Amino acid sequence: MNENEMLIEEILKLKEERGALVLAHYYQRLEIQKCADFVGDSFELAKRAKEAENNLIVFCGVRFMGESAKILNPTKKVLMPRPDAGCQMADMVTASKLRELKGQYPKAAVVCYVNSSAETKAESDICCTSSNAVRVCESLDTNEIIFVPDKNLGAYVAGKLPDKMFHFYYGYCPVHRNITRDEALKAKKQHPNARLLVHPECEKEVVDLADYVGSTSGIIREAESSTAEEFIIGTEYGVVERLTEYNPGKKFYLLSPKLVCINMKYTSLINLRDCLRDEIGEIDMPEELRLKAFTPLDRMMRV
């Protein structure tokens, strides 16, 4: 047995002993995904966390995901093996910047991408994820929307809902935003039979070249159900690793080597083992803040 196999065995034993539910995002390292009880995109993970009956939830992802789990299921103990793993996009908007924007557009409803802090959520009317953003915006009675923080996801949604008026915020995911149209064209030329599947956090010029645009789960479902055999993946490397592992008959090419989210890669098997063994890395927040952030998140879950 090598070191990783020994750690995985120890983790599975600890998980059993503690009665823990281990959740992991698709951008986590493959060995972490293999230790999880459930792997998903941010919406599916929030839903799973909300419904969890286990007293202990261990969240392998980035900070806003662990926070959402605690907001939605407050009586459970939520731990993160790396509570210091942030999301650069979430850090781009603050509650005070959002309050300023609300002052500028007092009649607009605030739609907040879940890639945001609990404080920012607390200032919002409803949350959304990349898989339900269009549906969430469509469900609102008002036609005027402030969309924070991702300008690219916002622009993608606005393109689908021409009757709504959007005010965007200049936030973005540095990992997805860095992909250029030239890189996408080059990848398509190199793999002429491949379908291009991208995340809506990419720039419009890249999204416009795609055969499919969707959340991480959407991309995985599309690739697995398609009769095509080759795919260029325009989202984080973890998705390519997973697709390659579980679909040996198909070929997956990462659109650009830049598609690696450092924060998502922080969590190691040792971190996960220590977290389960010592119950460290608890996510908590003042109840007043939790309640304010609960309303927009819960509203999203009901759309």
| Partner residues linked to 127 by β-bridges | 112
User: Of the listed pieces 125-133, 178-186, 225-233, 243-251, which binds ligand 13P according to CB under 6 A?
Assistant: 125-133
Query: CA–CA separation, 59 vs 254, rounded Å?
Result: 26
Q: At its nearest, how many Å lie between ligand 13P and the CB of residue 104?
A: 27
- Residue closer to ligand 13P, measured from CB, 105 or 212: 212
Total binding residues toward ligand 13P, as defined by CB under 6 A: 11
Q: Which of ligand 13P, ligand SF4, none sits in contact with 7, Cβ below 5 to 8 A by type?
A: none
257 to each of 132, 182, 200, 282, how far by Cα in Å?
A: 28, 14, 18, 33
190 to each of 178, 185, 204, how far by Cα in Å?
A: 20, 9, 21
> Does 216 help bind ligand 13P (rule: CB under 6 A)?
yes
Query: CA–CA separation, 127 vs 161, rounded Å?
Result: 17
Per-residue binder mask for ligand SF4 (CB under 6 A), 243-282, x = binder: ------------------x-xx------------------
User: At a CB cut-off of 8 Å and minimum separation 6, what does 137 contact?
Assistant: 111, 128, 145, 147, 157, 161, 164
Decide if 206 contacts 179 (C-beta within 8 A). Answer: yes
- 281-303 burial, b at 16+ Cβ within 10 Å, e below that, comes to bebebeeebbebbbbbbebbeee
> Does 256 help bind ligand 13P (rule: CB under 6 A)?
no
Q: At its nearest, how many Å lie between ligand SF4 and the CB of residue 272?
A: 18
Q: At its nearest, how many Å lie between ligand SF4 and the CB of residue 25?
A: 8
> Does 173 help bind ligand 13P (rule: CB under 6 A)?
yes
Among 120, 215, 256, 271, binds ligand 13P (CB under 6 A): 215
Q: What is the 3-state secondary structure (H, E, C) of 191-232?
A: CCCCEEEECCCCCHHHHCCCCEECCHHHHHHHHHHCCCCEEE
Decide if 46 contacts 10 (C-beta within 8 A). Answer: no
Q: Which of ligand SF4, ligand 13P, none sits in contact with 132, Cβ below 5 to 8 A by type?
A: none
Q: At its nearest, how many Å lie between ligand SF4 and the CB of residue 214?
A: 14
> Does 150 help bind ligand 13P (rule: CB under 6 A)?
no
> Does 128 help bind ligand SF4 (rule: CB under 6 A)?
no
Among 67, 123, 203, 236, binds ligand SF4 (CB under 6 A): 236
> Does 132 help bind ligand 13P (rule: CB under 6 A)?
no
Q: Which of ligand 13P, ligand SF4, none sits in contact with 41, Cβ below 5 to 8 A by type?
A: ligand 13P
7 to each of 4, 13, 22, 280, 281, how far by Cα in Å?
A: 5, 10, 15, 17, 19
Among 68, 73, 115, 263, binds ligand 13P (CB under 6 A): 115
- Residue closer to ligand SF4, measured from CB, 73 or 115: 115
Among 89, 153, 255, 293, binds ligand SF4 (CB under 6 A): 89
177 to each of 8, 130, 161, 237, how far by Cα in Å?
A: 34, 15, 22, 15
Residues in contact with ligand 13P by CB under 6 A are 41-42, 115, 129-131, 173, 199, 201, 215-216
